């Protein structure tokens, strides 16, 4: 199953190669086309990292069904004030 980050990983080299090639075909010099395409790739990376960042929610792989000494009592809440 493809997700958001799979698409981003595919779009980064596509942006670098595709936009650079398109700008060179249009008539822009290669020395200007590469930084412009790299800027688009950097924007994609920045969006994936900061705007739509990975969630920090831990994934539980399995439920614990047995209770041991560690599960017997819950820790009390300490109030520092």
Can you give the residue ranges of every domain in the chain? 4-52
State pLDDT tens for residues 7-63: 999 999 999 999 999 999 999 999 999 999 999 999 999 998 888 777 666 556 666
Is the entire prediction scored with pTM above 0.85?
no
Burial class of residue 2 in the structure, from the number of CB atoms within 10 Å of its CB (0-12 exposed, 13-18 middle, 19+ buried): exposed
Contact 41, 12 (CB under 8 A): yes
């Amino acid at each position: 199953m493809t997700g958001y980050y799979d698409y981003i990983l595919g779009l980064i080299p596509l942006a670098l190669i595709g936009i650079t090639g398109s700008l060179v075909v249009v008539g822009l010099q290669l020395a200007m086309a590469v930084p412009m395409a790299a800027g688009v790739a950097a924007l994609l990376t920045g969006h994936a990292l900061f705007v739509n960042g990975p969630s920090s929610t831990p994934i539980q792989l399995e439920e614990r069904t047995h209770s041991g000494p560690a599960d017997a009592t819950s820790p009390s809440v300490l109030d520092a004030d």
